[in-house]
Structure 1
Amino acid sequence: MPEGTIIKALSGFYYVKNGHKQIQCRARGLFRKQGISPLVGDHVVYEAENGNDGYILSVKARKNALKRPPIANVDLAVLVFSVAEPACDCVLLDRFLIAMETQNIKSLICFTKWDLLSESEQVSFRSRFAVYEQIGYHLIFTSCKQGEGLEKLKSSIQEKISVVTGQSGVGKSTLLNHLDTSLNIETQAISHALGRGKHTTRHVELLPVSLHGFVADTPGFSALTLPELTDSQLADCFPEFDQYREGCRFRGCMHLAEPDCMVKQAVAQGKISQSRYEHYRLFFHELSERERNKY
């Protein structure tokens, strides 16, 4: 049976790419009974009734899968936030990083509209977000108007399936159009009254870009729900905790009210970002409240 990759899902149809061919498929009713929902990025086995139409017979094992955006087998997450108009929402950024950490997806943080900052403001902004580089995340600063950072971004997505997502109104679609002019993705200006952008992307689709890569342009978000996590799994999503938590007095320390916590000590000493730690506390209480509301 032929195999391919789902590159688009729309109105109950799945568009499967096999080499230079694209086949419009439906999923067998068996999938619904088994609770399986094919996702963009899935590697599938299908049968074609004719050259252009067919049915998906099975979905191969995934290495990862996201719920928002719904996509599977991602190599890289490009998390797009702007330096201004709208201002970077750091809580939302950390939510996205957690979502990717839970799926073992490598994250790249891409800042847009770099030209809106003066030189001194750029220095201040870099200093503010240097903590993410210290943790191990790759940062790229881009300006579509000036062409800055675009070659670095192109190099980063070579021969990968990358998901491009992030805050609303930051220019994700504009960024993709500059990476590959053939994409011609719809764009809209942000609403200055609301301070955020309108969603121009309404479905997930893998778009071919140069150098044998695919990118998925996805809706922007002004809010993002945390994935289902246990307390210890949340701590695992903060890589900067790793080198300290083995020294905590209590095994299974949650790094909140416990005495002799090496993570809290590292925060007090400036070795761990205070803002990142505050986001950890915020997310911990959010997950605890969600768990209490189940009962």
Structure 2
Amino acid sequence: MPAIETTALTKVYGDVTAVDGLDLTVRAGEIFGFLGPNGAGKSTTIALLMDYIKPSHGEVKVLGSDPQADVRALHNRIGILPDRFSLYDRLTGEAHLDYAIDAKGAADDPKTLLSQVGLTEAGDQRTGKYSHGMQQRLALAMALVGDPELLILDEPFTGLDPNGAKKVREIVYNVNEQGTTVFFSSHVLGQVALVCDRVGILNGGQLVAEGAVSDLRTEAGIPDELIIETTGVPDDAITAVESVDGVVDVERDNETLVVSTLRMDNRRRILRAIEEAGTTIETFSLREASVEEIFTTYAGE
């Protein structure tokens, strides 16, 4: 049973279609990244999943249930970190967690949750004194109350320094290893390839691509680069490399060759072609197309 499944999901506001015929499947137990430029419809989709707003057309299934049928019971199985969350400046971090635990009727220990997000020493501090990163992690701790089956994170990396982003990644890994499905939207693309099993790219309210990052890289036809340091680059070597299947460009910079190829599985043939042309290879490295390049191909600049 998928953790999330939508069929022709549509949300219209007047003459604006925020989500347009969305067919989306998120498998149980995976980490799924939901990407898109600002205004693509990501937050609207999350609001539809949580039944904060009603769809204009289409169907939604979350953890096998219709959110409109029994939203309270479903919310008890879901943890959510919204994009625009609010904390009470005068309450401590531990008090926020007590409130979230009571609201869900859960039996969590606030101190354990604080430790889980790296806020052990700040639990008795008022959140008005928290940095943005600390507030983000506290809101994430609140989302973890009740050991949710599905964790929905809307822009969890926004405004975090590298240490904060690393901590969020570790939390995502840990809860996923315990069986929780993680669905998060983000425009911090550098974090996506580090975390996700699969991604979906939303643009103009429509899903324009879906799959593993490696598969989307191949489907987008974005070349990878093989960077080769040699003892010399005769013209024969360049001609030989250009004839290898999948190679789309070869650039020479002194004794360095940069080979752009649509088939990274042919790198042995590329290296062999250089050596057979009488050139010694000192070192080589690979540079795969980045998530940013994949995103731009599907969603524009």
Instruction: Give the TM interval when normalised to the shorter protein.
Output: under 0.3
Greater RCO, 1 or 2 (C-alpha within 8 Å, sep 6+): 2
Larger Rg: 1 or 2?
Answer: 2
The structure in which a higher percent of residues are helix is 2
Q: What TM-score do the two structures reach when normalised by structure 1?
A: 0.25
The structure in which a higher percent of residues are strand is 2
Q: What TM-score do the two structures reach when normalised by structure 2?
A: 0.25
